[in-house]
């Protein structure tokens, strides 16, 4: 990855920040996008590689275009685009204000679409990689996370199709599905009225670290894998059950998620 140009959205925290650190150590040049420019600049000052930071709200098409244009204007190319920016939610659909679902879709799905649209010609030119960071919720519906699951299913379908359309153009597309990973995504998750949840309902210390997750994604890009499902029980085994024992998985998923503190639903 030395001297490859890597664009990362949602790079101010969590998996995105860990990806920036991982790619910097490999000698890649970085283009970091997020809304919190101050955090990006603080991160860039710690990285031992050429880095530019671009204030980016991925729900805005023009911001995504500016992110890609800035990368090409500064470095002349793009080798890897990592669509990592994301937001979650936690509420029953029947209680949910629909603007919350739209907000989640705008960040997770449309942010990926906008960035991919403007980066694609440059990725075709370098025969580079497009990465979508989804979730196990992109394979299995999670109760209390209708908008989140819908957005991640949508990203998977979108990027799988982009892969097929560019099958003979040398474009690599990876859809990466981490299991539960320690980050601030749960504290920032939206509840039924659109406000932030504030406290995580899960034990973050028992989850995969963002740094470990970033290492897996980095290696999957190098190996040009088409999909990456992380963790065994919450990841690979869950996807297996969804294919062969879907009704059983529905019950197991409901019971598992119902055990969360202050769960929006109960048995």
230: left (phi over 0), alpha (psi -120 to 50) or beta: beta
Is 114 one of the annotated active-site residues of the chain? Answer: no
Q: Strand, helix or coil at 12?
A: coil
Residue 232 tokens read as: 């065994």
Longest dimension (CA), the chain: 56
Q: Is 118 part of any domain?
A: yes
Following DSSP, what letter does each residue of 116-168 receive, concatenated? HHHHHHHHHHHT-EEEEE--GGGTS--TTBHHHHHHHHHHHHHHHHHHHHTTT
Q: Give me the half-sphere count of Cα atoms (radius 13 Å) on the Cβ side of residue 100.
A: 25
Q: Strand, helix or coil at 265?
A: coil
Residue 220 tokens read as: 């999957």
8 A C-beta contact, residue 42 and residue 91 = no
Q: Is 223 part of any domain?
A: yes
pLDDT in tens, 133-191: 999 999 999 999 999 999 999 999 999 999 999 999 999 999 999 877 666 665 678 88
The number of folded domains in the chain is 1
Residue 71 — pLDDT band, cuts 50, 70, 90?
A: very high
Which candidate in 118, 139, 148, 218 is catalytic?
A: 148
The angle subtended at Cα 179 by Cα 139 and Cα 162, nearest 5°, is 45
8 A C-beta contact, residue 3 and residue 29 = yes
Residues spanned by the domain of 142 = 5-258
Whether pLDDT at 215 is above 90: yes
- Spatial CB neighbours of 249, under 8 Å, sequence gap ≥ 6: 140, 238, 241, 242
- Given this model, what pLDDT does residue 245 score? 95
8 A C-beta contact, residue 23 and residue 74 = no
* Residue 186 to residue 201: CA distance in whole angstroms: 8
**Average pLDDT estimate for 82-105:** 94
Q: Is 239 part of any domain?
A: yes
The CATH number that applies at residue 73 is 3.40.50.720
- Given this model, what pLDDT does residue 21 score? 97
Instruction: Give the chain's end-to-end CA distance (angstroms, integer).
Output: 49
Whether pLDDT at 201 is above 70: no
**Average pLDDT estimate for 44-53:** 96
- Given this model, what pLDDT does residue 266 score? 62
User: Which 8-state DSSP code applies to residue 206?
Assistant: G
Q: Is 210 part of any domain?
A: yes
- Given this model, what pLDDT does residue 190 score? 87
Instruction: Compute the mean pLDDT over every residue in the chain, rounded to the nearest whole number.
Output: 92
Q: Is 264 part of any domain?
A: no
Residue 5 tokens read as: 């140009």
* Residue 180 to residue 88: CA distance in whole angstroms: 12
Q: Is 267 part of any domain?
A: no
Q: Strand, helix or coil at 83?
A: strand
pLDDT in tens, 219-263: 999 999 999 999 877 889 999 999 999 999 999 999 988 888 888
- Given this model, what pLDDT does residue 260 score? 81
- Given this model, what pLDDT does residue 186 score? 54
Residue recorded with tokens 């560019």: 166
Of 226, 257, 218, 224, the residue nearest 140 (C-alpha) = 257
8 A C-beta contact, residue 88 and residue 190 = yes
The angle subtended at Cα 224 by Cα 171 and Cα 18, nearest 5°, is 105
**Average pLDDT estimate for 189-199:** 80
Q: Is 263 part of any domain?
A: no
- Given this model, what pLDDT does residue 199 score? 67
- Given this model, what pLDDT does residue 15 score? 94
* Proportion of the chain above pLDDT 70, given as a percent: 93
- Given this model, what pLDDT does residue 185 score? 63
* Residue 166 to residue 212: CA distance in whole angstroms: 30
Which stretch of 15-29, 129-143, 191-205 has the lowest confidence by average pLDDT?
Answer: 191-205
Q: Strand, helix or coil at 209?
A: coil
Q: Is 135 part of any domain?
A: yes
- Given this model, what pLDDT does residue 193 score? 87
């Amino acid at each position: 990855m030395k001297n490859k140009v890597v664009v990362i959205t949602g790079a101010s925290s969590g998996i995105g920040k860990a990806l920036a650190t991982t790619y910097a150590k490999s000698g890649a040049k970085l283009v970091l996008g997020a809304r919190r420019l101050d955090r990006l600049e603080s991160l860039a000052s710690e990285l031992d590689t050429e880095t530019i930071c671009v204030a980016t709200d991925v729900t805005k098409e023009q911001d995504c275009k500016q992110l890609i244009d800035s990368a090409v204007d500064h470095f002349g190319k793009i080798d890897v685009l990592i669509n990592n920016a994301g937001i979650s939610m936690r509420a029953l659909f029947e209680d949910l204000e629909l603007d919350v679902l739209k907000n989640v879709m705008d960040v997770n799905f449309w942010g990926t679409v906008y960035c991919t649209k403007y980066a694609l010609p440059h990725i075709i030119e370098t025969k580079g990689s497009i990465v979508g960071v989804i979730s196990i919720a992109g394979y299995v519906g999670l109760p209390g996370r209708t908008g989140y699951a819908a957005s991640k299913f949508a990203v998977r379908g979108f990027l799988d199709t982009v892969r097929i359309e560019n099958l003979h153009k040398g474009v690599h597309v990876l859809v990466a599905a981490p299991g539960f990973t320690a980050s601030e995504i749960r504290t920032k998750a939206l509840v039924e009225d659109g406000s932030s949840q504030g406290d995580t309902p899960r034990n973050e210390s028992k989850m995969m670290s963002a740094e470990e997750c970033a290492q897996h994604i980095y290696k999957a890009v190098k190996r040009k894998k088409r999909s990456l499902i992380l963790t065994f029980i919450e990841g690979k085994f869950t996807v297996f059950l969804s294919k062969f024992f879907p009704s059983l998985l529905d019950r197991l998923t409901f019971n598992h998620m119902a055990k969360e503190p202050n769960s929006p639903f109960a048995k």
